[in-house]
Structures are given as structure tokens and as C-alpha cells.
């Protein structure tokens, strides 16, 4: 039962919290929690090739990541998701190439250059502002932190824990290299970081 609970929750890309597992599935077997969770983890790995990864040690929340080598975009998704993932990859690339953190003003200027404007309904992505600042953050693909002592408040955008698990700096660098028709080594510092 726990396995199915985890699969269904993960399909929505929302991290699964330990207390939800306890409340919804484990209930009266609280004492056997560790045993049940590790058994579920074994089944997920053995049958589905999925790993439970803890992304928040305080809240004890988990996501499921494919442990298969060169996992394709295997996520349960509607057709629309592929387009959102495309946008996400572009954003992750921008963040990485700029040194792993960018200011919100810089990101939105970059997106404007790609004809994606906040505040405007995009024909494919809809409310882009919501998608980037809410959905991607909720799904742990992006992390947005306020920059202290800024007025009006500015924010720093970084990779979220799910992004770090589902792709790698090396994959992103190769993507950028492919798009620009250059060798990844062209960007020396990023290349060193990605292959460290």
C-alpha cells in the first residue's frame, strides 16, 4: 500500500512527507515505520528502478528518482509537461552558466529575450510567472530565496533539490554546448565544475 501511495504522490511531483506517510498509510503500524519504509524502498528499486531520495532532512520529505542509467524523461506527464520541461531546462541552463545563482531581474530579462513575458498569458505556458515562481518551486526544481537588505525585495534563483537529482551540471552543460554548436570545454570554469 505504501508503494502505491508513493507512486501516486510522486506522479504529481510533490515531495512526500513522512507525516503524510504515517497518517495515510502506516497509521497503526507506527512502530514498524522504518521497516515498512525500507521494505517499500526495496520494492521501488527492485521492481520500478526508482530510488527514494530525502530532499529535506528536517521535514523528512522524499521524492522518487529513476536509478536507471541514462534515464529518459520518464516522468508521468501529460503532453503539456514536455513543453514545461523544455522551459525548465532552459532556465536551469541559464542559472548554471551564470554561476549557479541569478537575480530574478536577470532571469526575467533573459526570458523576455526568448519572448516569454511575466504577466502575459503565454500561448503554451499560460501564466509563466506562476509556473516559474510557484509550480517549479513546489516541485523542487527551483529554489527562490529573498536577497536580504534589498528594497524593493529581490530574489535569487537557484537549482532546487529535484533538479540536482534528475539532471546534472554535466548534462546541462552538454545541452548548452549542443544548442550553441560549441564544445563544452569552451566554458572552462563551468566545465571544470561540471566534471569535478
Partner 1 sequence: DTAMAAQMTDAHRRFLQVLMSKGITEGSEARRLHHHCCETDKVYYAHDKLDDFISTINRHLQPLFMQIRKGMSEEDGRAHYAVVNLAETEVTKMASDYTEIELELFRKTMDLIILSENGFASSTDILNLADKLKTKKMKKKEAEQVLKVFVEDKWLSEKNGEYTLHTRCIIEMEQYILSNYQDVARKCNICRSLAVQSQVCESCGIGMHLPCVRKYFKAQTEPRCPKCNEFWSCDIP
80 binds partner 1 per the rule CB under 8 A: yes
**Which of 71, 106, 137, 194 forms a contact with partner 1 (CB under 8 A)?**
71
Which DSSP symbol is given to 132?
I
With CB under 8 A, what is the number of residues at the site for partner 1?
A: 26
Residue 130 vs 185, nearer CB to partner 1:
130
Nearest to 95 by CA among 83, 105, 107: 107
**Which of 79, 113, 123, 183 forms a contact with partner 1 (CB under 8 A)?**
79
Q: Phi/psi of residue 10, each to 5°?
A: -70, -25
**Burial of 64 by CB count in 10 Å (0-12 exposed, 13-18 middle, 19+ buried)?**
buried
Residue 77 vs 124, nearer CB to partner 1:
77
Block residue for cell numbers 529518459 = 72
12 binds partner 1 per the rule CB under 8 A: yes
In the complex, least distance from residue 153 CB atom to partner 1, rounded to whole angstroms: 34
Tell me how far apart the alpha carbons of residues 30 and 32 are, in angstroms, rounded to a whole number: 5
Residue 35 vs 109, nearer CB to partner 1:
35
Yes or no: say if 44 and 50 are a contact pair by the CB < 8 Å rule: yes
Residue 68 vs 147, nearer CB to partner 1:
68
Q: Is the dihedral of CA 177, 168, 166, 130 positive or negative?
A: negative
Neighbours of 29 (CB within 10 A): 12
In the complex, least distance from residue 28 CB atom to partner 1, rounded to whole angstroms: 19
In the complex, least distance from residue 174 CB atom to partner 1, rounded to whole angstroms: 18
Question: Residues 24 to 63: which contact partner 1 by CB under 8 A?
Answer: 43, 46-50
Block residue for cell numbers 551564470 = 98
**Which of 6, 9, 136, 190 forms a contact with partner 1 (CB under 8 A)?**
9
Tell me how far apart the alpha carbons of residues 138 and 151 are, in angstroms, rounded to a whole number: 25
123 binds partner 1 per the rule CB under 8 A: no
Q: Which residues bind partner 1 (CB under 8 A)?
A: 3-4, 7-9, 11-12, 43, 46-50, 66, 68-72, 74-80
Amino acid at each position: 500500500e505504501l508503494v502505491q501511495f508513493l507512486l501516486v504522490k510522486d506522479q504529481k511531483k510533490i515531495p512526500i512527507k513522512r507525516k503524510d506517510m504515517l497518517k495515510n498509510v502506516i497509521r497503526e503500524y507506527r512502530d514498524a515505520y522504518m521497516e515498512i519504509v525500507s521494505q517499500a524502498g526495496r520494492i521501488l528499486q527492485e521492481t520500478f528502478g526508482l530510488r527514494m531520495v530525502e530532499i529535506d532532512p528536517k521535514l523528512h520529505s522524499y521524492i522518487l528518482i529513476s536509478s536507471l542509467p541514462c534515464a529518459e524523461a520518464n516522468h508521468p506527464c501529460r503532453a503539456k509537461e514536455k513543453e514545461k520541461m523544455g522551459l525548465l531546462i532552459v532556465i536551469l541552463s541559464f542559472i548554471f552558466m551564470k554561476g549557479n545563482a541569478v537575480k530574478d531581474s536577470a532571469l526575467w530579462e533573459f526570458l523576455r529575450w526568448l519572448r516569454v513575458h511575466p504577466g502575459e498569458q503565454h500561448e503554451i505556458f499560460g501564466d509563466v510567472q506562476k509556473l516559474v515562481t510557484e509550480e517549479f518551486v513546489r516541485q523542487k526544481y527551483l529554489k527562490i530565496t529573498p536577497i536580504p537588505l534589498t528594497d524593493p525585495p529581490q530574489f535569487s534563483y537557484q537549482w532546487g533539490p529535484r533538479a540536482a537529482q534528475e539532471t546534472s551540471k554535466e548534462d546541462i552543460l552538454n545541452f548548452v554546448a549542443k544548442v550553441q554548436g560549441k564544445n563544452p570545454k569552451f566554458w572552462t570554469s563551468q566545465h571544470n565544475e561540471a566534471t569535478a
